[in-house]
Amino acid sequence: MIQIKTAARVAVACPLTIDDTAGTLAARRGPRQRTDAMHTDTPSAIIDRIGQHGALRARFAARVHPGPADLRMLRLLAGIFRTEARWRAVALTAAIIVATVALIVLMVRFAIWNGDFFDAIEQKSWPGLVRQAWMFAAILAGGMITHAAALQARRMLQITLRRHLTLALIDTWMADGHHARLRDVAPGLANEDGRIAEDARVVCELMVDFLASLLYALLQFVVFVGMLWLSSGPLRLSAGGIAVTVPGHMVWVALFYASLGAAITIRVGHPLVRATDRRQTAEAAFREGLVHAVSRSATIALGRAEPGERRRLAGRFAAVSSTWAEQTISFRRMTFFTAGFGFLTAALPMLLLAPRHFAGDMSLGTLMQVTVAFGQVTAALFWMSDNYPFIAQWEASAARVLALHEAASDIGEEQETDRPGEIERVAKNGPGLSFLDLSLVSASGEVLVRRFNASVAPGERLLVEATPPAAAALFRAVAGLSAWGSGTIELPEGAVPFFLGERPYLPEATLAEILADPRAPGEVSRAQMTAAMVEAGLAALIPSLSVAAAWEQELSVEDQQRLGIARAILHRPAWLFMHDAMSALDAEQEDRLMGVLVASLQGSAIVTIAHRAALDRFHQRRIALTRAG
């Protein structure tokens, strides 16, 4: 760990002044401080630090959100009615309701047709048969058109809802470094790509399907329970001289039958929720391993690490197979009962009503009409049972989406009083930058810097020299990407710092887009881009400004760093923070580019965080954080 001590013989503050006569930067040595630390990287110390992972991350426990998770997910989805897409969502929802009502009307007409058709057969009436054939053709055409319209409206609402949820997730996750901090404080929320792309899709598609099918089931029950009540008529039972009349007796049979089926389904299918969640987690971990292998393919090939990578991927797929088998067992139990109930539903009313037909109390047409109505009522009551596997899948995906959204939101809304002991990064009224009692800790528990105090004035150039882990931690802390440690970093109010790391971010886009980012390419003139690229030594790439490519693969590390320098020259930030931003360049090119930066950013503050003092002469002050011993 590193301590800051004051020693008269060792300099940490190294003021530099400009010698106008010589035209060069010359150092004027002054009192220096040195930060010391004990070197504790023994095997036992490493194990101890790794063991502190849990204790450190426990300080960042997720905030408890009130209310059931399902309702919180529904509130998140309902946020679409507060956006510009609300009228589109309302119109599509209305279209689904109209189509559902039309389908119910068609099903009622089909049930009536069923009775008329079998009566015509029983009566051997050719005119009646022809009339019912034409009626069936009209019902069929109406059903085809209505089903197609309902599908169109449902899918349009699904993609509209998914667009809202996806953009909400991206806006929360990809904001102010939340995505980077989540990796530090909530490693269990990995597979963000799967949560945003796949789980969000499942949540939105199943949500619309659930609402449409539930509305259909409710209308189906209300309409057909009345038809079943009237069609089945009363049942007279007598025993021992006591006669009992049960009005609409098939309604009570349907209610008892469906309740029994739902209870059995929920009982048997309850383990399916956990099994589905575990399988989706295993699938996400397997995808993450594949993505990691693809992104590190060159490194794996150079290290001849294919056998180990195959073992690791096979191990992850073994977890997929295991959870698949667990889910299959749950599906098998569900299918065993639901299939039995499905076959029984088709035959039960005919078996129960056949004696009444034989006795002449009920015509064949009425019997078939009651059979259709009974099937519709039980289908409505079986909605929960039929959708239970999909509900399990929805709950698992919703939990994963909600966990990512709430964790990213918590990072953006957290208050320092809520989580004491973190680094406080605040804006202050003054114009300068200050480090107040700043201590930095690695994610594994090692103290990298202890009680660091310093200030940087506007326009000042400061070099902070530290060990590689301490330099990286300090750079991430200033950028707001890490909160491990304590103390305060005060940034000038209203300042928009510009950060240059070892590798600039190069999306698959045109060079013009990359240079202009975060502004749109049209907001920066081509002449300005060209001048910045010439200054950075990238004149050969000027003809490619409009070319879209995977530049991270096309450019060498040296040219990637030059591109980062070109962006800094183009944007001319008031505050520039660099960490190993020119480490891939040779000493001569590093000196040239640093000179270009100093000349181009006159009046800008430049804070260079490095683990070597090669750029000492370009800075007005130097602070060295070094280990003891």
pLDDT in tens, 12-27: 333 322 222 222 223 3
Asked if residue 462 and residue 363 are part of one domain, the reply reads no
Cβ–Cβ under 8 Å, residues 426 and 368:
no
Asked if residue 178 and residue 82 are part of one domain, the reply reads yes
Task: Lowest mean pLDDT of 46-60, 216-230, 285-299, 439-453, name the range.
Answer: 46-60
419: confidence class by pLDDT, cuts 50, 70, 90: very low
Is 206 or 272 the better-scoring residue by pLDDT? Answer: 206
Closest CA to 288 of 429, 193, 398: 193
- Choosing from 392, 412, 432, the residue where a domain stops is 412
pLDDT at 104 over 60: yes
pLDDT at 547 over 70: yes
Residue 308 domain-assigned (yes or no): yes
Is 34 or 335 the better-scoring residue by pLDDT? Answer: 335
DSSP, collapsed to helix, strand or coil, labels residue 272 as helix
507: confidence class by pLDDT, cuts 50, 70, 90: confident
302: confidence class by pLDDT, cuts 50, 70, 90: low
Task: Lowest mean pLDDT of 44-53, 88-97, 523-532, name the range.
Answer: 44-53
Supply the range of the domain harboring residue 228. Answer: 69-234+244-412
Is 142 or 443 the better-scoring residue by pLDDT? Answer: 142
Asked if residue 74 and residue 33 are part of one domain, the reply reads no
236: confidence class by pLDDT, cuts 50, 70, 90: low
Residue 563 domain-assigned (yes or no): no
Closest CA to 484 of 474, 497, 471: 474
Residue 92 domain-assigned (yes or no): yes
How far apart, in whole angstroms, are the C-alpha atoms of residue 229 and residue 439?
Answer: 76
| Segment 218-224 mean pLDDT | 79
Q: For residue 623, what is the enclosing H or E element?
A: strand 621-624
% of the chain surpassing 90 pLDDT: 7
Asked if residue 464 and residue 429 are part of one domain, the reply reads yes
Is 308 or 71 the better-scoring residue by pLDDT? Answer: 71
Q: How many domains does the chain have?
A: 2
- Choosing from 412, 444, 476, the residue where a domain stops is 412
pLDDT at 58 over 60: no
524: confidence class by pLDDT, cuts 50, 70, 90: confident
The pair of structure tokens assigned to 83 is: 């956006």
Asked if residue 215 and residue 286 are part of one domain, the reply reads yes
Beta bridge pairs of residue 485: 440
Asked if residue 7 and residue 73 are part of one domain, the reply reads no
Asked if residue 395 and residue 276 are part of one domain, the reply reads yes
Quote the pLDDT of residue 95. 93
Q: In what order do the strands lie in the sheet with 498-500?
A: 498-500, 575-579, 605-610, 461-465, 621-624
Asked if residue 488 and residue 384 are part of one domain, the reply reads no
Asked if residue 331 and residue 197 are part of one domain, the reply reads yes
Residue 571 domain-assigned (yes or no): no
| Segment 538-557 mean pLDDT | 86
Asked if residue 221 and residue 254 are part of one domain, the reply reads yes
Asked if residue 217 and residue 116 are part of one domain, the reply reads yes
Max avg pLDDT among 277-281, 396-400, 428-432 = 396-400
62: confidence class by pLDDT, cuts 50, 70, 90: low
Residue 599 domain-assigned (yes or no): no
Residue 510 domain-assigned (yes or no): no
| Segment 442-453 mean pLDDT | 77
Residue 50 domain-assigned (yes or no): no
DSSP codes joined into one string, 353-415: HHHHHHTTSS-HHHHHHHHHHHHHHHHHHTHHHHHHHHHHHHHHHHHHHHHHHHHHHHHHH--
Asked if residue 32 and residue 100 are part of one domain, the reply reads no
pLDDT at 56 over 60: no
For residue 157, give the CATH number of its domain. Answer: 1.20.1560.10
- Choosing from 412, 437, 472, the residue where a domain stops is 412
Residue 598 domain-assigned (yes or no): no
